[in-house]
Amino acid sequence: MTAPAMGPADHAGVRRNNLSLVLRLLGTEGTRSRAAVAAETGLNKATVSSLVNDLIDRGLVRELGFDGRRRLGRPATLIELDGRQVASIGLEINVDLVTVVGMDLGGRILFERGRAIDVARRPLIRTLATVTAMASEAYEEVRQISTTVAGITVAVPGLVDATTRTVAIAPNLGLHDLELGERLAEALGGDLRVTIDNDANLAALAEYRIGQCAGTQNLIYITGQTGVGGGLIVDGRLARGASGFSGEIGHMRVGPADRICGCGRRGCWEALVGLQQLMRDAVPDLAARLGAQKDKGPEAKVAAIVARAEARDPVALKALDRHAGWLGTGLSILVNIFNPQVVILGGFFREIGPWVVPTAERIMHEQTMAPDAGGCRIVTSNLGYSAAAMGAAIHAAERVFDDPTTVPIADATPLH
Amino acid sequence: MTAPAMGPADHAGVRRNNLSLVLRLLGTEGTRSRAAVAAETGLNKATVSSLVNDLIDRGLVRELGFDGRRRLGRPATLIELDGRQVASIGLEINVDLVTVVGMDLGGRILFERGRAIDVARRPLIRTLATVTAMASEAYEEVRQISTTVAGITVAVPGLVDATTRTVAIAPNLGLHDLELGERLAEALGGDLRVTIDNDANLAALAEYRIGQCAGTQNLIYITGQTGVGGGLIVDGRLARGASGFSGEIGHMRVGPADRICGCGRRGCWEALVGLQQLMRDAVPDLAARLGAQKDKGPEAKVAAIVARAEARDPVALKALDRHAGWLGTGLSILVNIFNPQVVILGGFFREIGPWVVPTAERIMHEQTMAPDAGGCRIVTSNLGYSAAAMGAAIHAAERVFDDPTTVPIADATPLH
């Protein structure tokens, strides 16, 4: 194997990679001097200075005052990521809820909106119209604040082929082989770069970057919506699998054969710990009516269960206890396979957490091979039902970290 | 956050990292010019030249002839990894077999030996004596060939804490809380740096580096010994989990409750697809006798099953078919979770492959959510029962790639 002689294209590629390296370092590690950036990246100081000046010109980095802690030599100017110039949008389409979030490059939420709709029973064209309107509104809002919008990522609960921007199968939404990315890009009139990805993957990314366990190198996020999906952070990176189809944890066999899953199989985890099943078990008298309220998001349904549990209704308490057992059994399989530091329960699991987490944790410990479950604990997410949309916004912003030259050099003085 | 001023220690650290970067590039990408190394690492040419000279002085890199394909400027000298100076040793302790492998840095096998012993029923002290003798023999052999021996890694089927070099639990070996690393290091008299790790992890590493699917970014390796463990390569990296306890896939519930596992639970995958169970099902009249032959490795046991299958014995064929079904069901769980490109079946699965792989692949496809099982196929390993030992040798050599300065600068001219 021999390498070709280096041409101008290679040099541009090296510079782009180095800009990315510096911007990422400032994004994840925070404020530091140019000399520190040079030391941590292994690049020489002159190169770092040139790269930092370029990033300042693009409005992605700003200078702060001097580093007061430095004792020797000239005082060093500190630099940090300037997240304000660039925004991105994340949108989640779930069974009964569409959520949109606008976020700046520094992770600050600029805009957030949720709308309860019944995606599975609505004509696709109406859903797309709603999604387009919500995306457009978010776009208009964030453009008031940031000069560049990096793009929009759409989170979908199902198997997503990110390369072709196609939803292969999203059973709970009733979608398959839908070129969602293409359709949305058209509807948005080319204003926004559109990518799509799996909801659990994106929620896991949000937890890893901005959640209560941010930075935890091995974590599993479990979605708590109609379906149950998993997002995996392995050694600090989102594990998408070979074609982006990882995390289909809802159909592990966990329970007895009398529980028939929507997928046709028996004993699937989703059929035991999903919200539909919990409603049927915990509030059997309300389940049909609540299930029919397609204009309400999951909050209203969970609230009914929580109200009964708080009133110490024996049926609800027994159902929650059994639910906790299935939850712990399923988690033990995942913990045996992955050995994560933490399992983060998303969506409706947060509301029912007080009734299920202690039991689930005990069962998980009992059924995990590693002593003390390998140190794994269970927490409920505090990103709420917006976790996937937040992760989608973070994902859409990745393009700027990958290639800072996608943000143009500003004509005028940057905002201050 | 501010960075401290750079001291000499930081500079040494940067240089060490850069030496590592260059050596790894040559190890994984092969022969190239210094200019190509500079382009691919982003380091400047003067730095690369100095780093390469250092690696040549340590006998880790050698110069080849000129790059004939280069048309412009001075002809560039090509450089490549020189694996001959450094060897490492991998050793696997399994239930009925201890295997040792000596390998050079380029992946060439220098030495290989296996010995059938009954680890679970032997006094620990005798097992350690055997292991020590085998490791010493390998050490003496590889020292004849390579000037530096980077260390020995020992593969164990169980939960291994690599940091403390302790076997937390290895149920099939009857070991727990054993400071194996410490004990072996003492027994070897300090000659060799000893590390320990899980057998499935190390076998997966071997497959990723030197197996038939080398370089496949997402793969699962399944051990086929008494127990069933998994090694996971996720996005090109071995996924060990938070404390090295990942891959405990043997105790997923896959089958009916009438199959009681050694762990006390019901329906565990290991109790369905492990070699013990297959012997009981496929050659029920021989199972007791074969199981008692503790001086024989797994080959003899599998050979009895294969002989019956080849003779079209209906009991054996039926057992293999059922085995294939459980195999496919368990794999579908893993494929749903990981979305790998390939599942590699190790150990005894190779011998029974012709009877089980087609059915297992069909069942896996049926039970995986992703269309066409996300493109995943099943292959049997061609690294045989030495896969974990080979992976252990590769792992022991990692230290040199991480820090090439662990190999001393040679006094005399390097070997040619």
pLDDT in tens, B342-374: 999 999 999 999 999 999 999 999 988 888 999
What SS3 class is residue A7?
coil
Contacts 24+ apart (CB under 8 A), B177-183: B178/B124, B180/B154, B180/B156, B181/B154, B183/B128
d(CA B87, CA B108): 9
- Whole-angstrom Cα Rg for chain A: 23
B178: tokens are 């054993």
pLDDT in tens, B246-256: 898 998 878 77
| Maximum pairwise Cα distance, chain B | 75
Domain ranges of chain B: 8-81, 85-204+389-406, 212-382
B165: tokens are 């070099």
The CB density around residue A402, as the number of other CB atoms within 10 Å, is 14
The CB density around residue B303, as the number of other CB atoms within 10 Å, is 14
Contact A70 B2 (CB under 8 A): yes
Q: Which CATH number fits domain A212-382: 3.30.420.40, 3.40.50.300, 3.40.50.720, 3.20.10.10?
A: 3.30.420.40
Q: Look at residue B66 in the predicted model and tell me its pLDDT.
A: 65
Asked whether the predicted pLDDT for residue B266 surpasses 90, the reply is no
Asked whether the predicted pLDDT for residue B208 surpasses 60, the reply is yes
Q: Look at residue A71 in the predicted model and tell me its pLDDT.
A: 58
pLDDT in tens, A214-254: 999 999 999 988 788 999 999 999 999 998 888 989 988 78
d(CA A215, CA B46): 36
Q: Which superfamily does B85-204+389-406 belong to?
A: ATPase, nucleotide binding domain (3.30.420.40)
The CB density around residue B106, as the number of other CB atoms within 10 Å, is 13
Place of tokens 């050079």: B104
> Is there a contact between B414 and B82 (Cβ–Cβ < 8 Å)?
yes
Q: How confident is the model at residue B7 (pLDDT cuts 50, 70, 90)?
A: very low
Asked whether the predicted pLDDT for residue A311 surpasses 90, the reply is yes
More confident residue, A148 or B260: A148
Closest C-alpha to A390, from A231, A129, A204, A232: A204
Contact B5 A35 (CB under 8 A): yes
pLDDT in tens, B91-121: 999 988 899 999 999 999 999 999 988 888 8
Q: Which of A297-306, B253-262, B378-387 has the highest mean pLDDT?
A: B378-387
d(CA A115, CA A118): 10
Asked whether the predicted pLDDT for residue A295 surpasses 70, the reply is no
Query: Would the pTM of this model clear 0.80, i.e. be above it?
Result: yes
pLDDT mean over A351-377? 93
Q: How confident is the model at residue B122 (pLDDT cuts 50, 70, 90)?
A: confident
Side-chain half-sphere CA neighbours of A6 within 13 A: 19
In chain B, what residues touch A21 (CB-CB under 8 Å)?
Answer: 42
Q: Which CATH number fits domain A8-81: 1.10.10.10, 1.10.580.10, 3.90.1150.10, 3.40.50.300?
A: 1.10.10.10
d(CA B412, CA B288): 60
pLDDT mean over A318-323? 96
Residues 312-341 of chain A with CB under 8 A from chain B are 329, 333-334, 336-341
Contact B253 A333 (CB under 8 A): yes
Tell me, yes or no, if the two domains B85-204+389-406 and B212-382 fold the same way: yes
pLDDT mean over A381-403? 94
Q: Look at residue B289 in the predicted model and tell me its pLDDT.
A: 87
Residues 31-60 of chain A with CB under 8 A from chain B are 31-33, 35-36, 39-40, 42-44
Q: How confident is the model at residue B70 (pLDDT cuts 50, 70, 90)?
A: low
What SS3 class is residue A79?
strand
Helix (H) or strand (E) holding A104: strand A98-104
d(CA B282, CA B298): 15
For residue B42, the distance in angstroms to the closest alpha carbon of chain A comes to: 6
pLDDT in tens, A60-81: 999 987 655 555 666 678 999 9
The CB density around residue A338, as the number of other CB atoms within 10 Å, is 31
pLDDT mean over A104-118? 92
For residue B54, the distance in angstroms to the closest alpha carbon of chain A comes to: 17
What share of residues in chain A are helix, strand, coil (percent, to 5)?
45, 20, 35
Percent of chain B whose pLDDT exceeds 90: 65
B10 touches chain A (CB under 8 A): yes
Asked whether the predicted pLDDT for residue A151 surpasses 70, the reply is yes
Closest C-alpha to A337, from B168, B228, B252: B252
Asked whether the predicted pLDDT for residue A207 surpasses 50, the reply is yes
Q: Name the closest residue on chain B to residue A230, using Cα atoms.
A: B337
d(CA A210, CA A213): 8
Q: Look at residue A383 in the predicted model and tell me its pLDDT.
A: 93
A285: tokens are 């008298």
Q: Look at residue A191 in the predicted model and tell me its pLDDT.
A: 77
Paired sense of beta strands A86-93 and A77-81, if any:
unpaired
Find which of A338, A341, A342 to mutate to test the B interface (most B CBs within 10 Å of its CB).
A338
d(CA B172, CA B261): 12
The full 3-state SS of chain B, as one line of letters, equals CCCCCCCHHHHHHHHHHHHHHHHHHHHHHCCEEHHHHHHHHCCCHHHHHHHHHHHHHCCCEEEEEECCCCCCCCCCEEEEECHHHEEEEEEEECCCCEEEEEEECCCCEEEEEEECCCCCCCCHHHHHHHHHHHHHHHHHHHHCCCCEEEEEEEEECCEEECCCCEEEEEHHHCEEEECHHHHHHHHCCCCCCEEEEEHHHHHHHHHHHHCCCCCCCCEEEECCCCCCCEEEEECCEECCCCCCCCCCCCCCECCCCCCECCCCCECEHHHHHCHHHHHHHHCHHHHHHHHHCCCCCHHHHHHHHHHHHHCCCHHHHHHHHHHHHHHHHHHHHHHHHHCCCEEEECCCHHHHHHHHHHHHHHHHHHHCCCHHHHHCEEEECCCHHHHHHHHHHHHHHHHHHHCHHHCCCCCCCCCC
Query: For all residues of chain B together, what is the average pLDDT?
Result: 89
Place of tokens 């809380």: B177
Percent of chain A whose pLDDT exceeds 70: 93
Percent of chain A whose pLDDT exceeds 90: 65
Helix (H) or strand (E) holding A232: strand A230-234
Q: Look at residue A8 in the predicted model and tell me its pLDDT.
A: 47
